[in-house]
Amino acid sequence: MIQEIVLFGKTIDRFSLYPMINNIGHIFMFLWLIINIKEYNSFSVLPNLASAKIKNQCSGRVASWAIAFVELLLMFAVMLVSAKPIANGISVVFLGAESDNYFYNIFALPLILMLIAIIFQFSPLRFTDFVAPANALVLIFYKIACYCFGCCFGVETEKFGMYNACTERVEFPVQLVEIICAVIMFIVLLVVRHKKNHKPGILFPLFMLMYCGSRFISEFWRDDYPTVLGQLKGYHIQCIVGFVEGLILLFVVLKFGERITEFYAGKRQRVLERKSAEKTEEKASEE
């Protein structure tokens, strides 16, 4: 178990590592969104609307990317600000106490993303597809933070385990198992994302199903929360509810996904065509 590291000549203990690694994960999540801003521009409305209003093509492109950046920054801030109160509310329901847990991203985030998309008038399914890999990426950092801090520890064992300085015992390395699972989830989402024939909106339900399924199993190897129903813990119940929510979203995607995407694509195209026609008329009147 990591006790401390030396970074740029400064000694950092594992208690400081937890928030630091989490924040690094948030930075990488935002960088992912910015790196893939071209994909965001392919379904967004306001950046392209601004571009359509500007006569100079180069200036229009710069304005489009600038507005897209501001939009993503605003949406990212909404995700971070809403995370803690919603996570605490979910924890009170399932665990009986407040806990800043990752299940916010499972229960509430897809719904928040869809609400943001509806407000900004673009496809909610394409937006959740856009964010899902970034969500899996930040999960990797969250799990690494758990390992460094010593929380989310496994059951005590004598045969196959690692020493946990936090609990002062040898435990099953469940944090490492969950790190590996998070990496696999991220890779799977990337593979599906780059398939040309994948259903719009399928990435987030797929992420929910993979995470809730793997977490339900790994929870039996964890020893950080008591059981509440037989051998089941509060997180088991969360996994079941999250898995059901993922199945519902998957059904919506498979049944109505293409129609929803086509509706918003058509709506976006009509808006851009109208603004383009207005710009053409302005040019003609000036001539």
Q: What is the pLDDT of residues 68-101, one digit of tens each?
A: 888 888 888 877 777 667 766 766 666 665 555 5
- Number of domains the chain contains: 1
- Asked whether residue 134 is domain-assigned, the answer is yes
Q: Sign (positive/negative) of CA torsion 100, 103, 108, 112? A: positive
| In-domain check, residue 212 | yes
Look at residues 131, 122, 110, 112 and name the one whose alpha carbon lies nearest to residue 44.
Answer: 122
pLDDT, position 91: 65
Q: Is the dihedral of CA 223, 229, 234, 237 positive or negative?
A: positive
Predicted confidence (pLDDT) at residue 31 exceeds the cutoff of 80: yes
Q: Is residue 196 part of a domain?
A: yes
Residue 283 within a domain? no
Domain-located, residue 121:
yes
Which domain, by its residues, includes 126?
A: 9-270
- DSSP assignment string, 60-79: HHHHHHHHHHHHHHHHHHHH
List CB contacts of 69: < 8 A, sequence separation 6 or more. Answer: 34, 37
* CA–CA gap between residue 201 and residue 209 (Å, rounded): 14
Question: At 231, is the pLDDT very low, low, confident or very high (cuts 50, 70, 90)?
Answer: confident
State yes or no: pLDDT of 103 exceeds 70.
Answer: no
pTM: 0.83
Summarised one tens digit per residue, pLDDT across range 155-174 is 777 777 777 666 777 778 88
Q: Is residue 107 part of a domain?
A: yes
DSSP class of 173: -
To the nearest whole number, what is the mean pLDDT of the chain? 80
**Number of residues in the chain:** 287
CA triplet 24, 112, 75: central angle to 5 degrees?
50
Question: Is there a domain that residue 70 lies in?
Answer: yes
Residue 2 located in a structural domain: no
